[in-house]
Copies of this chain bind each other. A is one copy, B any other.
Amino acid sequence: MNPRIGFIGLGIMGRPMCKNLLKAGYELVVCGHIDKGPVEELAAAGAKTADSPRQVAAQTDILITMLPNSPQVEEVVLGENGVIAGARPGLVLVDMSSIAPLVSRSLAAALAAKGVEMLDAPVSGGEPKAIQGTLSVMVGGKQDVFDRCFPVLKAMASSVVLTGAIGAGNVAKLANQVIVALNIAAISEALVLAAKAGVDPQLVFQAIRGGLAGSAVLEAKAPLMLDRNFNPGFRLNLHIKDLANALDTAHQVGAPLPLTAFVMEMMQTLKAEGLGDSDHAVILRYFELISHTELKS
């Protein structure tokens, strides 16, 4: 029999993920927080509704959370009328938010005391992939819990990979976000150099994309940079959140991140310039600012 699914966090990502679960035939219980619009939208699509995380937990087998950051997940799980208050042995919490791995570990420990299992399962891929059901999910937790939840995750994702014990999903996500941030910065630094040296950055992009400098970031972001189109996409402020988690985690485990720290300060510069809601490709602007130039093709 299909497990009953709970879902908390009905934002830009959560709503389409819920719809893919309904489409796959799962019984779904949702609860909203402030804005009732998303709850009504999902109720119309066939979901049941509940008034608190506690009530969602009480009537489901697998409870998914998709929230902005660590404090919101802690509140939903541990707060008054939180998941833990409605928990019973056998429930599995699958936190798909991108949060600090050490918070995932401490939440899992608190839930284990109630017989509740947990996976941390952050995703990569934005709203379009959430809608298409082609997210990539990086999962931390026990193999047997992963196996039980795998079909549910596959209803929302094309790639679902177990990367280790609890917290390992978020560690993989942070590694991903470190590489993406630094590669955006690298491409920005290189294209501004080319432009300042009098060479058309569009032609440089064409000349290098097939070689060792080629990357998914280059293909996705260089065209936006060359058009100076910074509509989100993935907002700079969200990437700042991820790098803050990466730096916190790194410092707690003794892994200095000198380049991430440097790019974080570039992002803070841009946030202070009012660009926090732009796509993270706007890192280009930092290099334009310090070089007094604008990319032109």
Contacts and interface: CB of A to CB of B under 8 A. Distances in A.
B212 A101 contact: no
A253 B258 CA distance: 27
Given A172-B208, A183-B183, A211-B125, A178 B193 contact: yes
Interface string A183-196: 10111011111111
Interface in A149-173: 159, 161-165, 167-168, 171-172
Contacts of A113: none
A175 interface: yes
Given A163-B207, A257-B193, A213 B213 contact: no
B259 A185 contact: yes
A125 B140 CA distance: 38
Contacts of A182: 182-183, 185-186, 189, 259
Interface of A: 101, 124-125, 136, 138, 140, 159, 161-165, 167-168, 171-172, 174-176, 178-180, 182-183, 185-187, 189-200, 203-204, 206-208, 210-218, 220, 246, 249-250, 253-260, 262-263, 287, 290-293
Give the one of A193, A196, A256 with max B CB within 10 A.
Answer: A193
Copies of this protein chain in the complex: 2
B168 A199 contact: yes
B212 A194 contact: no
A183 B215 contact: yes
Nearest to A250: B193
A197 B101 contact: yes
A283 to B, nearest CB: 11
Given A125-B211, A206-B161, A249 B193 contact: yes
Contacts of A185: 182, 259
B254 A176 contact: no
A215 B174 CA distance: 17
Which 10 A-B pairs have CB atoms at the shortest separation, nearest pair first? A215-B215, A182-B186, A196-B255, A175-B190, A179-B213, A161-B207, A178-B190, A171-B199, A163-B203, A168-B199
B190 A186 contact: no
A277 to B, nearest CB: 19
B211 A176 contact: yes
A187 B197 contact: no
B255 A212 contact: no
